[in-house]
Structure 1
Amino acid sequence: MSFIEELEEFESAEEFLQYFNLDYDQTVVHVNRLHILQRFHNYLQQAADSMPDSEEAQRAVYKTLLARAYQDFVESDAVTEKVFKVFHMGEPQTGFVALTDIKT
C-alpha cells in the first residue's frame, strides 16, 4: 500500500497524529479535531505545487504540515483561526417583514 493510500484509510485526527508519531494533547484534539484536519488539508493544498516526488520526502512534508496545523490550535483557538467559512461570515442578517406583506 502506498503512503497516500495509507492516509486515505484514516478517519480521525488522532490516527494522523499517531501515524506521523507526533505528540499531542488529547484535550486540544478533542476540541479542535475538525479544525486541525481542515487546516492540514489547507496546508497540503498550498504545498501541492512544490510537493517532492519521493514518497519519503512527501512523508516529511506531510508530517511538518500536520504538526503545524496541530500547533495552530495549541497556540490559538478555532474562533481566532477561522478555518471554516462560517467564521468568515459577517454579522447575522436581520430582516423585517410586516404582517401586511404576508399573503395567504
Structure 2
Amino acid sequence: MINSSPAAGILDRLGKASSAEEFFSLLGVEYDAKIVNVARLHILKRMGQYFAEEQFAGAPEAEIRARCKAMLEQAYSDFVASSPIEQRVFKVLKDAVAEPKKSAAFVPLSELK
C-alpha cells in the first residue's frame, strides 16, 4: 500500500504506486474498470509520455498534483475514445504498422522433393 502521509509529495507517492488503480485513486480520477482492465499499461505508458514533456522544478505541490491529474485524465480519455491498437503506444504495435508482415509465397508439396 502507498504511504498516504501528507508529508509525501504526489510525485513520490505516484512513484511507489503498484497499480493503475492506485494512480487513479491518488489523483482522484474516476474511471471505468472495464476500460482500465483492457488498457491499463497503455494508459500508464501514455501518461508517462505526457509526463516526460513536463517540467515540475519549483512548482508548488498543488500545481504538480493538478498537472499529474490532467495528464492521467488525458491518457485515460485517449483510450476511452479509441483502442490500444489504434493508439499504438508500445514499440511492438508501432512496428507492426511500420513493417507489415510479408506473406510467404505458396510452395506446393510436389516442389519440396
TM-score, normalization by structure 1: 0.82
Q: Which residue of 2 aligns with 1:92?
A: 101
Residue identity opposite 2:19 in structure 1? S
Q: What's the CA shift for 1:67? A: 0.3
Q: Which residue of 2 aligns with 1:15?
A: 22
In 1: Cα distance, 2:71 partner to 2:34 partner: 20
Gaps of 5+ in 2: 1-7, 105-113
Q: Which residue of 2 aligns with 1:100?
A: none
Q: Which residue of 2 aligns with 1:72?
A: 78
Moved more, 1-10 or 13-22: 1-10
Higher helix share: 1
Residue identity opposite 2:9 in structure 1? S
- Listed one character per residue, the Cα deviations across residues 29-81 of structure 1 (whole Å, up to 9, x for unaligned) are 00000000000000011223x76611110110000000000010011000100
Gaps of 5+ in 1: 96-104
Q: Which residue of 2 aligns with 1:54?
A: 60
Distance 1:61 1:86, change over 3 A: same
Q: Is the Cα contact below 8 Å between 1:32 and 1:78 reproduced in 2?
A: yes
Q: What's the CA shift for 1:92? A: 2.8
| Identity across the alignment (%) | 34
Q: Which residue of 1 aligns with 2:48?
A: 41
SS at match of 1:39: helix
Distance 1:68 1:62, change over 3 A: same
TM-score, normalization by structure 2: 0.76
Moved more, 16-25 or 86-95: 86-95
Residue identity opposite 2:12 in structure 1? E
Q: Is the Cα contact below 8 Å between 1:52 and 1:58 reproduced in 2?
A: no
